Structure 1
Amino acid sequence: MRNAFHFVAPSLRKVAAILLLISAVAGCSTTSTLNTVEAPEPVSSKHAAIVVDGNGGKVLFQTNAEAPRYPASLTKMMTLYMLFEALEEGRISKSSLIPVSAHAAAQPPSKLHLRPGQSIDVETAIQALAVKSANDVAAAVAEFLGGTEGQFAAAMTAKARQIGMRGTVFRNASGLPDEAQRTTARDMALLGMSLRKRFPQHFHYFSQQSFVYNGKAIRGHNGLLKDVDGVDGIKTGYIRASGFNVATTVKRGGRNLVVVVMGGDSARARNAEVEQLIERYLPSASGAPNLMAMD
């Protein structure tokens, strides 16, 4: 993804005229097309979005896609990446038990309300992260795999660099507020594509709308899964500093997209934007799989 920037030096002799020009330009907007994919800055400074062809990796649309944003619970996409990697490398199994520390149990909601000294199996932990976005489970997984949550966050950041996420820094495993924890819409799209490509056997967890824990049905937050044809993941997120975020994958008729929208004013507005982007750009997506490479 390349952005061209054009700078115009003001004339010192015509300051008044330039101030009028700046005022006029500030009221203008442009329309994004496939050939000119950078859209104007929206009213909300939290907003960012990107649409990527899931087969060919071509960026079909973007706005503020490389501007720093707070990931919120999209962070758990990387937590799950690390958990899936540990499974594939044989370091753990789905029946492995994850101990729950006082630190993990003390995390604020959304959570499973785990207690210190309790344990949770890996299979349930995966579902709790993908469906419920449980912060206590995220912290427990971090300590289980990384020793401490801080050490695990450093490993998450290193993994992000390894897969090409150049604008992301993780400070915790959940996405709970931390001023130093940043990402970009581009990086979240790349992470979504990496999850699907690297772990196709585990990707079905992202399409689950509920799971059973202690005999109780635990329902998820991603309304796109039931409302939009072909959506099969991935993750929603919200903290006050980020607004409403989502990373979404959709497949129809051999075509697929990865869509990331960040900084929505509400879950409904965010989902409506995602649906509009899907309907607009899915017909432009390629129909044949290719190596993952984002332009």
Structure 2
Amino acid sequence: MVLVAVASLVLSIHPGHANPKFAAIVVDGASGKVLHSSHANETRYPASLTKVMTLYILFEELRAGRLTLDSPIPVSANAAAEAPSKIGFKPGQTIRVRDAIRAMVTKSANDVATAVGEKISGSEKAFAKRMTQTARRLGMSKTTYHNAHGLPHSPHNTTTARDQAVLGMAVQRDFPVYYSYFSTRSFTYRGTAYRNHNRLLGSVDGVDGIKTGFINASGFNLLSSVKRDGRYIVAVVMGGRTGRTRNEYMTGLIEKYIPKATQGGAAMLARNVPVPTSRPQMPVVLASANGVAQRATEPEPQRLTPELIAAYAASVNAEVTAQGDTEDPVDAVDVAASGTAPRALALVEETPAAVVETAGAPEPNGAIPSGWHVQIAATESESGARSLLLDAQRKNASVLADRQLYTERVDVNGTTLYRARFTGFSSKSEAWAACTQLKRHKMSCWALNPAS
């Protein structure tokens, strides 16, 4: 009752009337429908919300194999000189990637953000250019980055609440496992404990991230993700006068709009599947980006490539015992179906017309079709698997028009998943050729022979 009263009070006062820094938006994460918008397309300063993009690009480097979670990141004199919030490195010291991620998520460390940008692109300026380019590809049309951390070094380091919502959804869609770092509540490094600035974690039901931000020019910003009762929303509040009032307003938005989100929407996100403790060899053939077929045999754990990890997660035997939950997703795998390049996200300002698919529906679960399969994803929702298959078939009719659509239900570690597959391939080379076509359209894909 107290929570409802606070929410009602907060939402009854529109802060945008008196606060020129204010902006807010709430988006249904499943449909992209905008549930609430106030000044959402007006430019604002992102402050440390900037680090979400820094982390997005760092995750890209991890997925590409150019960095690992144990890679050292050197701290330059330029990075060490950044203003707080910071860890306080001296020039020449290093930090591992896994610790850099946590330092940015919890402490919002500016010195670490700069070091990451310099490590990836050679200079902060070059990294900021990549950040802006990535933003455009994701559909963030009004965002420009000039540094990796969000300090007001440039008045042109700007964004909008809408663009931040797009980024909040994209990082979960493209990196569902690495995204779990945003739920880290505290981080201990070299004997010092750093508590996450996001006080909604653990206090508001369903909040699993993602980032706070503050500079004088921006006010108090907050980008939140909420998954509750099968529903999923992303909400942004910018320009709060204090951290407390910002949090109260965000809580009010969550309580008001989470019931209006799509039921079952949370299941549309790619499933985080842990790497098993026992690792049998896999009957999986991968189509690499350069068109060379690769036999996926069991490598050493530290040599697992992102593609191999994704294929392994989806094809692993359901009876294998998985590792227990861990704070660190280092031993988890990412099964996002987004490929290696970011894709634009479009928000829907009004409810779209219903689309009914009557043809080409996937076969129900039953006997596994013979021959080679092409799998594109594994989701918690059978309807979600069907939607992905139909979308892939529409976009790749030249190689998939005559293929059978098939969903296979499996139980993995107590969770029911639905594998989304195309069947009817007579040979490994035919399945591999289809995979290569899908990869050209930035879709994850792997070919396998269930009979092997």
- TM-score, normalising length: structure 2: 0.56
CA distance, structure 1, for counterparts of residue 130 and residue 260 of structure 2: 36
Matched with 1:60 is 35
CA distance, structure 2, for counterparts of residue 282 and residue 41 of structure 1: 22
Please tell me the residue identity of whatever aligns with 1:115: K
Q: Does 1:103 align with 2:86?
A: no
Matched with 1:256 is 232
CA distance, structure 1, for counterparts of residue 16 and residue 249 of structure 2: 15
Larger Rg: 2
Matched with 2:212 is 236
Unmatched segments (≥5 aa) in structure 2 = 1-10, 270-344, 349-452
Matched with 1:294 is 347
Q: Is the 8 A contact 2:213 2:222 kept in 1?
A: yes
Matched with 1:17 is none
Q: Is the 8 A contact 1:51 1:60 kept in 2?
A: yes
SS of corresponding position for 2:202: helix
Matched with 1:159 is 134
Please tell me the residue identity of whatever aligns with 2:134: K
CA RMSD across the alignment = 1.4
Q: Does 1:192 align with 2:245?
A: no
Q: Does 1:211 align with 2:187?
A: yes
Q: Is the 8 A contact 1:207 1:233 kept in 2?
A: yes
Q: Is the 8 A contact 1:56 1:293 kept in 2?
A: no
Among 49, 52, 66, the residue aligned to 1:91: 66
Q: Is the 8 A contact 1:58 1:293 kept in 2?
A: no
CA distance, structure 2, for counterparts of residue 148 and residue 67 of structure 1: 30
Please tell me the residue identity of whatever aligns with 1:107: E
SS of corresponding position for 1:174: coil
SS of corresponding position for 1:159: helix
Matched with 2:261 is 285
Q: 1:40 to 1:268 in 2, by over 3 A?
A: closer
What is the deviation of 1:256? 1.2
Instruction: Describe the superposition over 1:36-73 as per-residue Cα deviations: whole angstroms up to 9, x where unpaired.
Output: xxx89421000000000011111000000000000000
Is 225-234 or 153-162 further displaced after alignment? 225-234
What is the deviation of 1:104? 0.2
Among 183, 200, 204, the residue aligned to 2:159: 183
CA distance, structure 1, for counterparts of residue 119 and residue 263 of structure 2: 40
CA distance, structure 2, for counterparts of residue 124 and residue 175 of structure 1: 20
Matched with 1:142 is 117
What is the deviation of 1:216? 2.3
Please tell me the residue identity of whatever aligns with 1:123: R
SS of corresponding position for 1:247: strand
Matched with 1:14 is none
What is the deviation of 1:219? 1.2
CA distance, structure 2, for counterparts of residue 171 and residue 226 of structure 1: 33
Report percent identity of matched pairs.
54
CA distance, structure 2, for counterparts of residue 256 and residue 243 of structure 1: 26
SS of corresponding position for 1:113: coil
SS of corresponding position for 1:227: coil
Is 90-99 or 207-216 further displaced after alignment? 207-216
Q: Does 1:117 align with 2:92?
A: yes
Q: Is the 8 A contact 2:102 2:181 kept in 1?
A: yes
Instruction: Describe the superposition over 1:85-129 as per-residue Cα deviations: whole angstroms up to 9, x where unpaired.
Output: 000011110000000100000001110001100000000000001
Q: Is the 8 A contact 2:80 2:111 kept in 1?
A: yes
Matched with 2:53 is 78
Unmatched segments (≥5 aa) in structure 1 = 1-31, 33-38
What is the deviation of 1:294? 1.4
Q: Is the 8 A contact 1:40 1:63 kept in 2?
A: no
SS of corresponding position for 1:248: strand
Matched with 1:44 is 19
